[in-house]
């Protein structure tokens, strides 16, 4: 028996690029083999519970626009109804994973003890649903940014009682993630940052955040959680300055607190844009350090300057992201989580399905284009050619040499570098052949 929310829309199937059916996959074909692996296993799609089921359509100027049978979300019976609808969407999309914050799943109660017991109850209920579903848990996380108790941060809060509340909350969320067979555990530093240095001891807050993350890693090993711990960079919003600004900042932080072999990065397209980077830049930075963990797939509006979390629709951008993911050997335990929400006028249940179908198709097109570029090898050949000078014995020896001897060699050999074209337009033209 279904909840009726999706009006008995049939499961979405692959119909190919020529189909005009808006509720069919035109490019996402889970079983298609790409570089020796099923497309589904490359992309590892996940539905984000918060945007698709908990967010009510509000923006800074107005509240709820959606009307869902599980509103208001303050009751356990309706939380279970919400889970029933969520698993119907997962089945309709045939999506392998979903992701949650604790606060998306359970009603928010007053005390920590009440929140813990409702989280246990709802995750037991979800665990039962997972037994009859092919959808697994990509990651769980704690919402430590919405309730007013978190307004000055969680692990970076000046009040040690908030640090304690955060530690207790993360323990509960890690337990629930472990119970549901989660593949990763994510920490996005929602309000781990500051509004003004006039009231902030930045050094102390960073030390507390480093200590907190070490406790998370210790607890992972204690309970035998095999998933990956991930942090998610974002430069601002909601805090004016966020400590996890971008991939490079996070990597420096992880190294400082001895976590570089324990924690990887969950990179989000929109966060990259907010940081003034491209998504592929963030992916390449993480990959160069062996810290690419997972991705949150969405897009930002390039005009508005805040985190609009729209479903992706730009194949060339997505193709370059997957190009760097494939080059790095794939997403491992990570996946492609649609950290994306409907526009607030998209009221219908069908909009929710269409948004995911479109996002999955765009990612499939990007993946196929990326794999085709790798198979063709044009970019790799151009890259090798550009760095070819470094294969010479002299060039390699120089890296183990010193300024004195290098200067002597420049004088002796009369070295006078000849500038060469970077061929950017030629390479951009090459990419457009594939996208
Ligand atoms: C916020 C954001 C979060 C994290 C999980 O911008 O991306 O949804 O992904 O807390
Ligand atoms: Co995100």
- Distance between CA atoms of residues 343 and 366, nearest Å: 23
- Distance between CA atoms of residues 275 and 367, nearest Å: 24
Q: Would you list the DSSP string of 66-100?
A: ---TT-S---HHHHHHHHHHHHHHHHHHT-SEEEE
Quote the ligand 1 centre to 410 CA distance (angstroms). 52
Q: pLDDT exceeding 70 applies to what percent of the chain?
A: 100
Query: What atom in ligand 1 is closest to the CA of residue 143?
Result: 10
8 A C-beta contact, residue 220 and residue 258: no
Residue 8 has pLDDT above 90, yes or no: no
Cis before 159? omega within 30: no
Quote the ligand 2 centre to 176 CA distance (angstroms). 19
Quote the ligand 2 centre to 342 CA distance (angstroms). 15
Token match 């420096």: residue? 252
Query: What atom in ligand 1 is closest to the CA of residue 50?
Result: 8
- Distance between CA atoms of residues 424 and 414, nearest Å: 30
- Distance between CA atoms of residues 298 and 307, nearest Å: 10
pLDDT of residue 306: 87
Which residues, 6+ apart, have CB-to-CB distance to 249 below 8 Å?
233, 243
Q: Would you list the DSSP string of 214-230?
A: HHHHHHHHHHT--SEEE
pLDDT digit string, tens, across residues 319-361: 999 999 999 999 999 999 999 999 999 999 999 999 999 999 9
pLDDT digit string, tens, across residues 361-417: 999 999 999 999 999 999 999 999 999 999 999 999 999 999 999 999 999 999 999
Residue 1 has pLDDT above 80, yes or no: no
Distances from the Cα of 102 to the Cα of 13, 84, 128, 189, 219, angstroms: 31, 17, 17, 15, 18
Token match 């969407």: residue? 89
- Overall average pLDDT of the 14-34 stretch: 98
Which has the closest alpha carbon to 365: 32, 108, 83, 55? Answer: 32
pLDDT of residue 271: 97
Determine whether the shortest distance from the Cβ of 234 to ligand 1 is under 6 A: yes
Residue 123 has pLDDT above 90, yes or no: yes
> What is the number of the ligand closest to the CA of 103?
1
- Distance between CA atoms of residues 123 and 176, nearest Å: 7
Residue 239 has pLDDT above 90, yes or no: yes
CATH architecture of 33-376: Alpha-Beta Barrel (3.20)
Please tell me what DSSP assigns to residue 11: P
- Overall average pLDDT of the 215-230 stretch: 98
Which residues, 6+ apart, have CB-to-CB distance to 289 below 8 Å?
251, 260
Tokens representing 303?
């005009």
Quote the ligand 2 centre to 234 CA distance (angstroms). 9
Which has the closest alpha carbon to 106: 98, 117, 94, 93? Answer: 117
pLDDT of residue 113: 97
The residue contributing the CA closest to ligand 1 atom 7 is: 339
Distances from the Cα of 408 to the Cα of 181, 318, 393, 415, 422, angstroms: 61, 48, 17, 10, 29
In a 13 Å sphere around the CA of 396, the CA atoms on its Cβ side amount to 4
Question: Does this model's pTM top 0.95?
Answer: yes
Determine whether the shortest distance from the Cβ of 232 to ligand 1 is under 6 A: yes
104 classed as catalytic: yes
Residue 10 has pLDDT above 90, yes or no: yes
pLDDT digit string, tens, across residues 194-210: 999 999 999 999 999 99
Token match 């790095």: residue? 328
Nearest 10 degrees: CA dihedral of 11, 14, 19, 24? Answer: 30
Q: How confident is the model at residue 7 (pLDDT cuts 50, 70, 90)?
A: confident
Quote the ligand 2 centre to 175 CA distance (angstroms). 21
147 classed as catalytic: no
8 A C-beta contact, residue 140 and residue 185: yes
Task: Please give the mean pLDDT across all residues of the chain.
Answer: 97
Which has the closest alpha carbon to 95: 15, 39, 40, 50? Answer: 40
8 A C-beta contact, residue 325 and residue 128: no
Residue 15 has pLDDT above 90, yes or no: yes
Domain residue limits, the chain: 33-376, 392-432
Determine whether the shortest distance from the Cβ of 102 to ligand 1 is under 6 A: no
Determine whether the shortest distance from the Cβ of 307 to ligand 1 is under 6 A: yes
53, 140, 189, 232: which to mutate for ligand 1, most atoms within 8 A of CB? 232
Query: What atom in ligand 1 is closest to the CA of residue 268?
Result: 7
Please tell me what DSSP assigns to residue 302: T
Structural Rg of the chain based on CA atoms: 24
Q: How confident is the model at residue 81 (pLDDT cuts 50, 70, 90)?
A: very high
Quote the ligand 2 centre to 415 CA distance (angstroms). 49
146, 234, 293: which to mutate for ligand 1, most atoms within 8 A of CB? 234
Tokens representing 25?
């996959």
Tokens representing 418?
């000849």
The catalytic residue among 104, 296, 307, 361 is 104
- Overall average pLDDT of the 114-124 stretch: 98
pLDDT digit string, tens, across residues 256-285: 999 999 999 999 999 999 999 999 999 999
Determine whether the shortest distance from the Cβ of 188 to ligand 1 is under 6 A: yes
Residue 339: in which H helix or E strand, if any?
none
């Amino acid at each position: 028996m279904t909840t009726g929310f999706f009006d008995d829309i049939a499961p979405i199937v692959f119909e190919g690029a020529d189909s005009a059916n808006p509720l069919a996959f035109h490019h996402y074909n889970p079983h298609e083999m790409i570089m020796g692996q099923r497309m589904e296993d490359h992309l590892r799609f996940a539905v984000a519970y918060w945007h698709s089921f908990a967010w009510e359509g509000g923006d800074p100027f107005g509240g709820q626009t959606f009307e869902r049978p599980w509103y208001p979300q303050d009751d356990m019976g309706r939380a279970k109804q919400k889970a029933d609808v969520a698993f119907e969407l997962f089945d309709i999309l045939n999506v392998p994973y979903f992701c949650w914050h604790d606060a998306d799943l359970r009603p928010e109660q007053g005390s920590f003890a009440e929140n813990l017991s409702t989280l246990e109850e709802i995750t037991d209920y979800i665990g039962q649903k997972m037994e009859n579903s092919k959808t697994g848990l990509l990651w769980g996380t704690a919402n430590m940014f919405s309730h007013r108790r978190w307004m000055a941060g969680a692990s970076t809060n000046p009040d040690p009682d908030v640090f304690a509340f955060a530690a207790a909350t993360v323990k509960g969320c890690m337990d629930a993630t472990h119970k549901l067979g989660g593949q990763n555990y994510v920490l996005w530093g929602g309000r781990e940052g500051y509004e003004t240095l006039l009231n902030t001891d930045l050094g102390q807050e960073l030390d507390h955040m480093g200590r907190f993350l070490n406790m998370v890693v210790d607890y992972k090993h204690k309970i035998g959680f095999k998933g990956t711990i991930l942090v998610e960079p974002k430069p601002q919003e909601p805090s004016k300055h966020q400590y996890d600004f971008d991939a490079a900042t996070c990597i420096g932080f992880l190294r400082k607190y001895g976590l570089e072999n324990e924690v990887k990065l969950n990179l989000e397209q929109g966060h990259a844009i907010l940081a003034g980077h491209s998504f592929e830049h963030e992916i390449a930075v993480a990959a160069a350090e062996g810290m690419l963990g997972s991705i949150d797939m969405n897009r930002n509006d390039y005009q508005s300057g805040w985190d609009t979390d729209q479903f992706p629709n730009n194949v060339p951008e997505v193709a370059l992201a997957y190009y760097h993911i494939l080059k790095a050997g794939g997403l491992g335990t990570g996946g492609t989580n649609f950290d994306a929400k409907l526009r607030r006028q998209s009221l219908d249940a069908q909009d929710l399905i269409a948004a995911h179908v479109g996002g999955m198709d765009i990612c499939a097109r990007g993946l196929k284009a990326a794999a085709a570029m790798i198979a063709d090898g044009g970019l790799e050949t151009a890259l090798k050619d550009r760095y070819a000078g470094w294969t010479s014995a002299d060039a390699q020896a120089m890296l183990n040499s010193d300024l004195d001897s290098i200067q002597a060699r420049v004088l002796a050999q009369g070295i006078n570098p000849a500038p060469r074209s970077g061929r950017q337009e030629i390479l951009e033209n090459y990419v457009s052949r594939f996208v």
